[in-house]
A = this chain, B = another copy of it.
Amino acid sequence: MNLIEQHASFGGTQSVFRHTSKTLNCDMTFGIFVPQHAEGTRLPVIYWLSGLTCTEQNFVTKAGAQAYAAEHGVIVVAPDTSPRGDDVADDPAYDLGKGAGFYLNATQAPWAAHFRMYDYIVDELPALIEANFPVSERRSIMGHSMGGHGAITIALKNPGRYRAVSAFSPIVAPSQVPWGEKAFAAYLGPDRETWKQYDATALLASATERLPILIDQGEADNFLAEQLKPEIFTAEAARHNHPVTLNLRLGYDHSYYFIASFIGTHIAHHANALKA
């Protein structure tokens, strides 16, 4: 693990590290904010999953999360959004290939060799973080857009592993929207049955844990009507008595300005659950 950059931030430290991922078969970077803390203490950790086109830098530089993480005494880890490197398959479009890992394990060529972001986020990255940083086993997960899809599906598929889950502008029904249909067809193949394991709406039926899901969605988000459709998810959650809070925020768009405006309420929500 190599330190790429490190900055004092709100009394703590914002760093970026690079490491070789066995799961993804390439080098990966991640950001980590560690607040000021007493020597020997171990802190809860929130995993943040970013959206299409992002690296760890978008969240680290634009979300303003460090202020709230410092206030609540939680570590925040922000991984990259896909495998990287010259030998990793890619596509000219922004919504497939690099920057568009969709937090799943690809089964189709040419993607299957590297695109295993699901295993990376669920297993390899937490093991690395837990071995190298002062984190406790209290974990939670959140994300934005494609990363909101990642956070919700990963929480639903791993009962007991996360103490809180939340999302900004998440893709919640990937099998029913263009972004998801394109990515799932490429990564998982044409059989839509295989898509259900990574579709938040489809996963609600089999969820064995009723972890409350907090969602903030900008009402002026350009992707709301075509790609996000939170109403599909909330309707299905209601059918299964799965607790979902959907805050529709008037005037807000899909950008990090929106995330920055409400990241404080999400981190407070996570901190409450992590410290309970």
Contact = CB atoms under 8 A, between A and B. Distances in A.
A8 interface: yes
Interface of A: 7-11, 14, 61-62, 64, 66-67, 218, 220, 249-253, 255-258, 260-261, 264
B260 A8 contact: no
A264 B249 CA distance: 25
B220 A260 contact: no
Most buried by B among A7, A14, A250: A7
B218 A260 contact: no
Most buried by B among A220, A249, A255: A255
Nearest to A9: B257
B61 A8 contact: no
A253 B64 contact: no
Number of copies: 2
Nearest to A251: B8
Contacts of A10: 260-261
**Interface secondary structure of A, over-half rule:** mixed
A82 to B, nearest CB: 23
A218 B9 CA distance: 11
Contacts of A218: 8
Given A62-B61, A62-B62, A7 B67 contact: no
A61 B67 CA distance: 15
19 contacts: A7-B255, A7-B257, A7-B258, A8-B220, A8-B249, A8-B251, A8-B253, A8-B257, A8-B258, A8-B261, A9-B258, A10-B260, A61-B256, A62-B62, A64-B260, A66-B260, A66-B261, A67-B261, A67-B264
Contacts of A66: 257, 260-261
A249 B9 CA distance: 11
